[in-house]
């Protein structure tokens, strides 16, 4: 019945109905159960007036109902608008209004927020996971399978908004289908890679991509509850649930491999350890390898607009090129260009631009921003990269984060990679701060590795041996943690404000 998520679930329900599709806590749901519940949820929404092309917002913490909501909306042909529950009511209200959502799925813990956010929007009703939700499913007539236009929008995911008000990236049914099949082919995932841990928020593109990829192949998705990241708990889940495939951002992998409970475990079922949002340092790659000696290590790089992954660093290259984001995923066209859209030669810095079927079709309700993003017929990422002689790509900065100090370009990622190798540095971010003489100077914001931070002189000495003098941070600010967005990326705009406001007494 087509290349959409609900069709895959329905097929697995027919061919292997007893296979577990979703695990959440102590509850397993088979493909037959997931298909039946999704059909009833689609029916309940249809009975309440939701039809093909309507937007339905989902404001849920990670739970089994999140998965069946995405499947149900795929079956119905409505567009799922996945909302970040960490936002404030006014922020959520903007996304509800911008998308024109007519319904809102939520849970009891978030219903008050949902109710406030939905005021003065187009939302006609809320359906709250719990007794009322179960009653609605029980009373609904299951919606039969139907053909869905593969080019139609499946999801609207609002970008993190680090450069202003978030925009709704439109991701289609066929885009997700192609992304998942190309990624499976590119990575060589086998039949021994069926159980995936989804510990990232499903509202994030990495989470929703995990849902799609796992259900496409008839795998089991272990949905981990939302909340504060607990490395010890994750280690237990990886072991107890016999997880084959896992994804975390580098900061989370760092917490996992340094947690005392990892000692003595060999994780025989874990086949793939993935990271994304940012490259891992060479030191962290060595730590991950030591903790998981038999596991294939790989990184993915992309953004919401590229269905999570546009670049892949495969296992055979992770340890010799750990700072690289790899090479393009199958089906993704890539160029590195200057401001005039001219290709730059290997070794020089330019913006990476993308084209292909796994790139967003545009931003919802934002034709001007879509045109700006796709100028010249290519999607402009805002990421500055260089390519080495072997064809591997390296991120050097975001365009908006590049520091110009005394007329020289300072690429923060380059400086961060050097500083991350210092033994006293746990994690680090570099931002620019105003300077009367140089215009801007780099400042290092460091989370100590073991409680004892490096001194400014130690860090300068380390940097001067490896970097041009104008790239070496002029100041050091020590913090307990770096501010992150929901995608695991450092919020540089927050750090810039923090550094600007930091008093001399807080500097080292």
pLDDT digits (tens, 9 = 90+) for 287-307: 999 999 999 999 999 999 999
Give pTM, 2 decimals: 0.86
Residues 6+ apart with CB under 8 A from 134: none
Which DSSP letter does residue 362 get? -
The CATH T-level fold of domain 20-170 is: Rossmann fold (3.40.50)
Residues 6+ apart with CB under 8 A from 40: 137, 138, 140, 141, 142, 143
Q: Which two tokens stand for residue 79?
A: 């567009």
Between the ranges 6-20, 176-190, 429-443, where is the mean pLDDT highest? 6-20
- Give the per-residue pLDDT at 209: 94
Is pLDDT above 60 for 20?
yes
Q: Which two tokens stand for residue 51?
A: 């039809």
- The CA distance from 484 to 503, in Å, is 22
pLDDT digits (tens, 9 = 90+) for 76-98: 999 999 999 988 899 899 999 99
- Give the per-residue pLDDT at 39: 99
- Give the per-residue pLDDT at 160: 63
Domain residue limits, the chain: 20-170, 228-398, 402-506
Q: What is the CA radius of gyration of the chain?
A: 23
Looking at residues 49-68, what average pLDDT do you find? 98
Asked if 42 and 148 count as a contact pair (C-beta separation under 8 A), the reply is no
Domains 20-170 and 402-506 share a fold: no
Exposed/middle/buried for residue 219 (C-beta within 10 Å: 0-12, 13-18, 19+): buried
Is pLDDT above 80 for 505?
no
Angle, helices 64-76/31-47, rounded to nearest 10 degrees: 60
Q: What does DSSP say about strands 311-313 and 327-328: parallel, antiparallel, or unpaired?
A: antiparallel
Residues 6+ apart with CB under 8 A from 344: 336, 337, 338, 350
> What is the dihedral angle through the alpha carbons of 396, 424, 257, 85, rounded to the nearest 10 degrees?
-60
- Give the per-residue pLDDT at 506: 40
What percentage of the chain reaches a pLDDT higher than 90? 73
More confident residue, 162 or 369: 369
- Give the per-residue pLDDT at 1: 60
Per-residue pLDDT band for 184 (boundaries 50, 70, 90) equals confident
Out of 3.40.50.720, 3.40.50.12780, 3.50.30.30, 3.40.30.10, select the CATH number for domain 228-398: 3.40.50.12780
- The CA distance from 23 to 265, in Å, is 23
Q: List the one residue out of 52, 14, 62 whose CA is nearest residue 36.
A: 14
The neighbour count for residue 173, using CB atoms within 10 Å, is 24
Considering the domain 402-506 in this protein, what is its CATH number?
A: 3.30.300.30
The neighbour count for residue 465, using CB atoms within 10 Å, is 9
């Amino acid at each position: 019945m087509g290349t959409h998520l609900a069709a895959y679930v329905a097929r697995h329900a027919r061919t292997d109905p007893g296979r577990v599709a979703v695990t959440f806590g102590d509850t397993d749901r088979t493909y037959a159960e997931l298909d039946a519940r999704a059909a009833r949820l689609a029916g309940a929404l249809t009975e309440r007036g939701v039809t093909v092309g309507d937007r339905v917002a989902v404001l849920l913490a990670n739970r089994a109902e999140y998965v069946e909501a995405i499947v149900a909306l795929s079956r119905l042909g409505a567009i799922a608008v996945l909302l970040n529950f960490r936002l404030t009511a006014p922020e959520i209200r903007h996304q509800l209004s911008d998308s024109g959502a007519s319904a809102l799925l939520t849970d009891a813990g978030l219903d008050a927020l949902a109710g406030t956010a939905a005021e003065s929007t187009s939302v006609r009703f809320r359906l709250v996971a719990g007794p009322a939700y179960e009653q609605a499913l029980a009373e609904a007539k299951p919606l039969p399978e139907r053909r869905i236009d593969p080019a139609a929008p499946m999801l609207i995911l609002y970008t993190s908004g680090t450069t202003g008000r978030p925009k709704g990236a439109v991701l289609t049914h066929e885009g997700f289908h192609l992304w998942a099949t190309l990624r499976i082919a590119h990575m060589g995932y086998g039949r021994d890679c069926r159980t995936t841990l989804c510990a990232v928020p499903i509202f994030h593109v990495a989470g929703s991509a995990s849902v799609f990829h796992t259900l496409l192949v008839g795998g089991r998705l272990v949905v981990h509850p939302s909340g504060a990241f607990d490395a010890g708990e994750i280690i237990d889940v990886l072991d107890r649930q016999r997880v084959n495939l896992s994804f975390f951002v580098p900061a989370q992998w760092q917490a996992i491999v340094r947690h005392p409970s990892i000692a003595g475990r060999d994780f025989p079922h874990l086949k793939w350890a993935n990271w994304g949002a940012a490259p891992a340092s060479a030191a962290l790659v060595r730590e991950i390898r030591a903790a998981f000696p038999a596991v294939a290590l790989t990184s993915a790089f992309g953004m919401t607009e590229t269905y999570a992954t546009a670049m892949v660093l495969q296992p055979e290259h992770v340890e010799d090129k750990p700072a690289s984001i790899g090479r393009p995923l199958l089906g993704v066209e890539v160029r590195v260009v200057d401001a005039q859209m001219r290709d730059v030669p290997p070794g020089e810095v330019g913006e990476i631009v993308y084209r292909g079927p796994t790139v967003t079709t545009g931003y919802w309700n934002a034709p001007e921003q879509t045109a700006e993003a796709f100028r010249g017929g290519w999607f402009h990422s805002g990421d500055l990269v260089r390519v080495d002689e072997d064809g591997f790509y390296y991120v050097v900065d975001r365009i908006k984060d590049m520091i110009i100090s005394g007329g020289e370009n300072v690429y923060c990622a380059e400086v961060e990679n050097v500083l991350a190798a210092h033994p006293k540095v746990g994690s680090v971010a570099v931002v620019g701060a105003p300077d009367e003489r140089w215009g801007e100077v780099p400042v290092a914001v460091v989370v100590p590795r073991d409680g004892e931070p490096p001194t400014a002189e130690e860090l300068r000495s380390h940097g001067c041996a490896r970097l041009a003098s104008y790239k070496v941070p002029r100041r050091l600010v020590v913090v307990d943690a770096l501010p992150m967005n929901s995608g695991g990326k450092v919020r540089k705009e927050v750090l810039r404000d923090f550094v600007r406001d930091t008093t001399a007494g807080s500097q080292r």
